[in-house]
Amino acid sequence: MSAEPSTGGLTEYIQHHLTHNTALLGDKGVHWDSILVSFLLGALFAGWLFFRARKATSGVPSKGQAFVELIVEFVDGQVKDVFHGDRRFIAPLALTIFMWVFLMNAMDLLPLDLIGYGVQKLAGHETAHHTYWRMVPSADVNTTFAMSITVFFLVIFYSIKAKGGWGFTKELFTAPFHAHGTVAKIVLAIPNFFLNLVEYLSKPVSLAMRLFGNMYAGELVFMLIAGLMSMWSLGAVAGSFGFGMGVLINAGWSIFHILIIGLQAFIFMVLTVVYISMAHEHH
């Protein structure tokens, strides 16, 4: 669905679609669109797996069951290659991350004006114009940081579980530069702690910003293409040319973006498993 013409042109259109549906919770703004879409997609994914699990048979699987088994075996294989401990929690966690991030990313393939169009049909054009709703939760830095911070706490938890509270604390001050002798250990304690702190904090930041940056950029490209498809104000010839080019470019970018959607979900999943696996290792 292409952009609707407005007095502000393409700039106003992009600003409109980059604005979150925000409500105040105390003195903080809450992005209800990101929260609601995320939870609905999570519930959809959980319900789909629950339904397939209830309908699963030991004989020849149906197409739906075969598809679910393919995804589960793929994720479990990736976890097995990276994590060599007990996978009873890590494998379901990886599956949840992969499917949830994939579904959130896939919202980028929906028409930009889908929500506004629905409100327009129900309440009129003017109301639709002022309806703010972003459909891609992973293009919201708050969503990606919420997920990456959760991974960060899991890394800390598994580090303490594998090494103990004293072992984890000791490693912060004695690795990666190991020293012999009391004086050398004291001298290297601060550099070791600083390097470990940077390493731990860089993990959630890199996870969050990588996913956010790729999905935000992809969403912005779709908005620019939608602006190209709405060049009717330049005349019939230019408008028809712009619309035709917009359709072709949108189709090409959508096909390419499918690869980005899957790749970003895969990267987030694999890095999560890698970070947790590293937490089990002793320096």
In a domain, 66, yes or no: yes
pLDDT tens digits, residue range 58-108?
888 889 999 999 999 999 999 999 998 888 999 999 999 999 999 999 999
Q: Rounded to an integer, what distance in angstroms lies between the CA atom of residue 250 and that of residue 229?
A: 9
Please indicate, yes or no, if residue 210 is contained in any of the structural domains. Answer: yes
Instruction: Evaluate whether residue 97 is within a structural domain.
Output: yes
In a domain, 123, yes or no: yes
Sequence-ordered list of residues with C-beta below 8 angstroms from that of 67, at least 6 positions apart, any chain: none
Indicate the helix (H) or strand (E) that contains 225: helix 182-228
The residue behind tokens 């990666």 is 176
Residues 149-178 pLDDT 10s: 999 999 999 999 989 999 999 999 988 887
CA 69 to the chain's CA centroid: 23
Reported as a pLDDT band with limits 50, 70 and 90, residue 196 is very high
In this prediction, residue 258 carries a pLDDT of 94
Top pLDDT among 282 and 62 is at 62
Residues with a known catalytic role: 206, 210, 214
Q: What is the pLDDT of residue 5?
A: 41
Whether pLDDT at 125 is above 90: no
Residue 123: partners with Cβ closer than 8 Å, 6 or more residues away: none
pLDDT at residue 230 in the model: 63
Structurally, the chain folds into a number of domains equal to: 1
pLDDT tens digits, one per residue of 202-258: 999 999 999 999 999 999 999 888 777 665 555 555 556 666 777 788 888 899 999
CA distance linking residue 87 with residue 99, whole number of Å: 18
Closest Cα to residue 177, out of 196, 199, 198, 157? Answer: 196
Residue 6 has pLDDT above 50, yes or no: no
Q: Is residue 1 part of a domain?
A: no
Instruction: Supply the pLDDT for residue 177.
Output: 84
Could you report the per-residue pLDDT of 12-68, keeping only the tens digit for each? 888 888 989 888 777 788 999 999 999 999 999 999 999 998 988 888 888 999 999
Residue 252 domain flag: yes
Determine, yes or no, domain membership for 4: no
Residue 24 lies in a domain: yes
Q: Cα–Cα distance between 105 and 116 in angstroms, integer?
A: 20
Return the beta strands (E) in the chain as ranges. 22-25, 28-31
Domain of residue 163, residue span: 9-279
The encoded tokens of residue 132 equal 């703010």
E-assigned strand segments in 35-90: none
